[in-house]
Structure 1
Amino acid sequence: MEYKNNGHIRVFLVGHAISPNRGSEPGNTWNWAWELSKYTNVDVFAYPQHRKEIEKFILEHPRNNLRFHWVTLDNFDPWHPEKGESGLRFHYILWLRKVYKIIKNLIDNMQEPIVVHQVSWSTVSTPPPILQGVPIVWGPVSGGQVAPASFRDFFGNAWPKEMVRSWRVSFYPLILGWGRRVSSLPLILAVNRETEALLRKAGAKRVEFFLDCGVPSGFGLPKPQEVARPPGPLRLLWAGRLDFIKALPLVLMALRRVRVPVELLVAGDGPLKLQWQSAVQRLGLSDKVRFLGRIPWDKMKEVFQEAHAFVFTSLRDGFGCVVLEAMSFGLPVITLDHQGVGTFLPADAAIKVPVRTPEETFQAISEGIERLALDEDLRLRMSREAWRFAQEERWDRRAERMLALYEEVLSHAHRRV
C-alpha cells in the first residue's frame, strides 16, 4: 500500500557518512534521505566527507524539502579521513554530541511535529543521547550477535579477539548509561533476534525488526526468473570479504561431499585469500572453485546474473546486504540459520542450515546444494520467492514503512503529553 502523507512531519536524519555514489553506510544514509524526502521534509545531519558528491547530485536533481547540515568538530578532531580509520570511533562520539546539541537548539524554535532518526553506525554500541521534547528512532541496528563457539576453529588465532568482543556485548545491558539511553527511546529497529534480545534485556520499550539495507532503484531483475537453467553444473556464488568471520571454508568442506556437477564462484578479496586458495587445492576442488577477486559494485550485476544460487556462510553478521542484492536477481539462498538471515529470510526462498556443529553444517550445506541441482522446479520456485522478498525491501517501500512508524511514534508521544 502506498503511503500517504500530508507533509506535516519533519524528519531529522542523523547519518555520519552520506553519498549517492557509494555503498555501505554512506549509501544507506543517502537512500533514507532521498526516499523519505519524496513524502515529507527531511533535514540531514552529516559529516562533510562526501559533501561535493552530494552538492553535485542536488544541483542536477534539486529537491527543496531535503536540507543538509554539515557538522564538523571545532577544536579537536581525533580522526583524519585521509589517514584511515584511526580515531574514528572517538570522533564519532564527539560528533554525535555536537549534532544533538544543534538539534536541541533547532527544535526549541519549531512548532511542527519532529522525529529524530539516527541511522548511522548501525551497531548497538552507540545509542542516541536522551533528548527531551522530541521522539528519537534508532536503527536499524545490529551488534547483539556473536560467533558460535563451536566454530572457533574457523577463526584461528583471531578467536581470542572474537571472545573479547562476545564478552563485551554481553555486558552492554549492565552499563548504566547505555541502558538508560536504550530504555528512553520510543522505537528501536533491530536487524536480528540476537540484537532484539539484548535491547529488551536493557529495558527497550519497543523493538521492531527492520533490515539495515535495501534494494536501490533499478537494481536487480525487473521480473522473476521463469526460464530453467541450461544443462551443466549448478553455478553457486559466494561473495564477501575473505576473512575469518565470513567462513568460506564451510562451503568448501561441503563441496567435497557434493555428488552432482557444481561450480563455485568466489567474489571478493581479503587477508585470507592465499590461505583459502591453498585450501581449495588441498581439498581437490580446483576444478570446481573459481576466485574472481574484488568486483566493483556496478559490475556485480553481471556476476549475479551468471549464478544459479547464492551461498552465505558468515559466522557473525547483522544481516549481510549482499544476500538481499543476490535475491533481487532471483537467486535462492543457502545460508546458516542464525542472526539476520535466520531472522528475515523466508523458508520458501532460502535453505537455512543448522549452526550447531561444523560437521552438521557441512552436511546440511552439501544436501542443500544437491537439492537445488537436482530439482529445477524447486530452484525456480525459490528464485521467484527470493525476488519477491527483495522487492519488499526496495528503498521506496522501506521509506513508506518508516514513515508509518514515525506517525505511530508521534501519535504515542502526543498521547503522553
Structure 2
Amino acid sequence: MSTVLARSDVLLSAFACDPNMGSEPYVGWKWLKLLLACDLHVTVITRRQHLAALEQACAGLGTVRFIAFDLPGMSKLDHRARLIKLYYIAWQLAAFFVALRRRVGIRWKFAMHVTYNVVDFPGFMWLLPRTRFVWGPVGGGQCPPRWSRVLYGASWWKQRVRCAIKQSLRWNPIVYLATRKADAVFVANAETEARLPAAFAGKYVRMLETAIDVELDQDHAIGERQAKVTFLWVGQLEPRKGLPLLLDALVAVRTRQLAAFDQMKVLVVGDGPDKHSLNQRAYSLGLSDRVTFLGKLRFDQMRQCYGSADAFVFTSVQDTSGNVVLEAIASGLPTIAFNHQGVAEMLDSGCAYLLSPTSYETAVEQLADSLVRVTTEPKEASAMGIQAKWHAAKRHSWESRRATFLEALHAIF
C-alpha cells in the first residue's frame, strides 16, 4: 500500500457481510477482509445479525469499527426472504443517514458499496459530502438467453420485464448519478458493464466480485476413487439454475450411449422452491438410481463433496459469476458450463468444457456430449482438472483481486 492510502479511514457499506454464510454475505465478508489486508482502517456498516460473527472473525486482522443496525422489527429477516429486496432499499436509505452522523467524527478517504452487488441499486453512500465513492464489484446486468424460456414456463414474462428494466438502467437517475460521482466502478461481467452509462466508461474496471483461496495439493485422476464417475451439481433449486437441462442430458446419454451412462452418477446439492418438482422429474425420467439429491449442506460438508467428485456441472442461465464454479476449479474439478456471463470471465477452454447452445435442444445435446467426454476420456478430464486448479490460483485468488483493486486505487489517489 502506498503512503497515500496506508492506514486511511474508509467506509464499507455491506448490507450482507458474514464469514459463516454463503452467497452475498460471504462476498461482503471477503471484501472487508481484503480492505483490512490493504492496511486500511475500515468502518463497516452492516446488519445487526452479522455483528457477532464479524467481531470474532476480525480479531487481530486490523483496525475495524462496526456500525450494525436494523430497522425496527427486521433484525431477524433472512437474506433469502421475499421482502429482503424491499427491506434492502429502506435499510440503505437509513444507512446513509447513520453514516452521515458518524462522518462528523471520522474523515473517510472513500466510501465503498459492496453488497448487495446489484447494478440496479447502488445505495446512497455516493451522496456523502466531501467523500469519494467506489462502487462494486457490481453485477446483475445479465439476462437469461431466450432459449432458456423452457426452464421458466409461465413465469417467463417476468424475466422479460426484468430484462427490459435492466436495459433501461443507463437512464436510471440513481444509477446515472452514482456512476457520475464514483471514482471507480468495479464491474463483474460484460453484460453488467453494458447496462451502465457509456459516458463514464473510463471509470469501469472489470473484476469479479468473488475469488477463492486455493490449496495446490495433490490432484487425482478421474474415476480413481470409485467405480462410477461422479458429477457434482450445486445451486438453488429454481428455474435460472437450469437443473432440468442436466436431467434431460442424462436421458440423452442413456438413449445414445448406454455404456457411458452406466458409469455415471450425479450428486445434487441445494434446496429451493423447485425441490419437490425436480425430485419428481428425476423419478419420472427413470433417473432415481443415477441422481442423488443431498439437500443443503454446510460449508465443511461442501469441501468433502467437492473432494469426492470427478467433475462439476454448472447449468445456470443467469448468474453474475457463480461462487460454486470457483470452488469447483479450486478443488481441481473440470467444469461443464455455458460460455456466458460470469463463466466467460472465469473460465477458458483449458480448464472447462464451455458450451454455446442456440436452443434448449442444443444445450441438452452439448451437455450430454460433455458428460460422455468426461466419462470416456478420463486422462483429458484429469489434465483439465489440474489446469483448473492452477487457473484458479493464478487468476482468481483473493491476492490477485487485491492486486487489481490496489492498482485501481493508486490510479485514483
Q: Which runs of 5+ in 2 are unaligned?
A: none
TM-score normalised over the length of structure 2 = 0.87
SS at match of 1:401: helix
Whole-Å Cα distance in 2 between the matches of residues 272 and 91 of structure 1?
25
Q: For the residues of structure 2 that align with 1:326 and 1:83, how far apart are their CA atoms?
A: 27
Q: Within 1, Cα distance between the matches of 2:268 and 2:86?
A: 35
Contact (CA 8 Å) 1:191, 1:209: kept in 2 or not?
yes
Between the aligned partners of 2:322 and 2:397, the Cα distance in structure 1 is 15
Partner of 1:189: 186
- The secondary structure found in structure 2 opposite 1:153 is helix
Secondary structure of 1:37 counterpart: helix
Identity of aligned residues (%): 28
Shift of 1:4: 6.9
| Deviates further, 96-105 or 21-30 | 96-105
Cα distance, 1:333 vs structure 2: 0.6
For residue 178 of structure 1, report the CA deviation from its aligned partner: 2.5
- Corresponding position of 1:415: none
Are the counterparts in 1 of residues 48 and 75 from structure 2 also a CA contact under 8 Å?
no
Equivalent position of 2:42 in the other structure: 42
User: Of 50, 60, 63, which residue of structure 2 is paired with 1:62?
Assistant: 60
Alpha carbons of structure 1 residues 359 and 224: separation in structure 2 relative to 1, 3 Å:
farther
Partner of 2:373: 371
SS at match of 1:181: helix
- Identify if the C-alpha distance between structure 1 residues 51 and 100 changes in structure 2 by more than 3 Å, giving closer, same or farther: same
Q: How many residues align?
A: 399
1:119 match: 114
Equivalences for 1:6-405 in 2 at 5 Å? 7-40=6-39, 41-58=41-58, 61-73=59-71, 77=72, 79-82=74-77, 85=81, 87-103=83-99, 114-129=109-124, 130-131=126-127, 132-201=129-198, 203-216=200-213, 221-223=215-217, 225-230=219-224, 232-258=227-253, 259=257, 260=260, 261-391=263-393, 392-405=395-408
Write the letter of the residue equivalent to 1:346.
Answer: D
- Contact 1:182–1:202 (8 Å) recurs in 2: no
Whole-Å Cα distance in 1 between the matches of residues 183 and 149 of structure 2? 37
Instruction: Give the structure-1-normalised TM-score.
Output: 0.86
In structure 2, how many angstroms separate the alpha carbons of the residues matched to 1:272 and 1:195?
27
1:351-382 alpha-carbon deviations (Å, 9 max, x no partner): 11113201111111111122222222211221
Summarize the Cα distance change of 1:343–1:396 in structure 2 as closer, same or farther, 3 Å threshold.
closer
1:407 aligned onto 2:410: yes
Q: Provide Cα deviations, 1:222-255, integer angstroms capped at 9, x if missing partner.
A: 4251545327432111111111111111111111
Tell me by how many angstroms 1:401 deviates: 2.8
Displacement, 1:63?
Answer: 4.2
Assess, with a 3 A threshold, how the Cα gap between structure 1 residues 91 and 242 changes in structure 2: closer, same or farther: closer
Residue pair 2:221, 2:378 contacting (<8 A) in 1 also = no
Runs of 4+ in 1 over 6 A off after TM superposition: 3-6, 108-111
Partner AA of 2:179 in structure 1: V
In structure 2, distance between residues paired with 1:323 and 1:83: 24
**Mapped partners of 2:122, 2:77: distance in 1:** 27
Q: Which residue of structure 2 aligns with residue 414 of structure 1?
A: none
Residue number in structure 2 paired with 1:413: none
Post-superposition offset of 1:80: 4.8
Contact 2:150–2:360 under 8 Å retained in 1: no
Cα distance in 2 for partners of 1:62, 1:52 equals 15
Question: Quick one: distance in 2 between partners of 1:207 and 1:50?
Answer: 30
Alpha-carbon offset, residue 69 of structure 1:
2.4
Contact 2:45 2:68 in 1 (8 A): yes
Contact 2:348–2:354, Cα closer than 8 Å, also in 1 = no
Do the aligned partners of 1:221 and 1:330 also contact (CA within 8 Å) in 2?
no
Contact 2:170 2:197 in 1 (8 A): no
Report if the CA contact (8 A) 2:118-2:140 is conserved.
yes
Instruction: Structure 1: give runs of 5+ residues left out of the alignment.
Output: 411-417
Question: Are residues 227 and 51 of structure 1, via their aligned partners in 2, closer, same or farther at CA, if it must alter by over 3 Å?
Answer: same
Contact 1:137 / 1:187 at 8 angstroms: preserved in 2?
yes
**Per-residue deviation at 1:405?**
2.0
After superposition, the Cα gap between the structure-2 partners of 1:22 and 1:177, relative to the gap in structure 1 and judged at 3 Å, is: closer
In structure 2, the CA distance between the partners of 1:229 and 1:51, relative to structure 1 (3 Å rule), is: same
- Relative distance call for 1:83 and 1:213 in structure 2 (3 A) is closer
Task: Give the match's secondary structure for 1:81.
Answer: coil
Q: 1:8 to 1:274 in 2, by over 3 A?
A: closer
**Structure 2 CA distance for aligned equivalents of residues 310 and 238 of structure 1:** 6
Conserved in 2, the CA contact under 8 Å of 1:116 and 1:136? yes
Alpha-carbon deviations, 1:141-184, whole Å to 9, x = none? Answer: 11111111222121122212222212221222222332222233
Structure 1 distance, partners of 2:323, 2:78, is 27
Counterpart CA distance in 2 for 1:344 and 1:67 is 33
Q: 1:167 to 1:44 in 2, by over 3 A?
A: same
Counterpart AA for 2:290: K
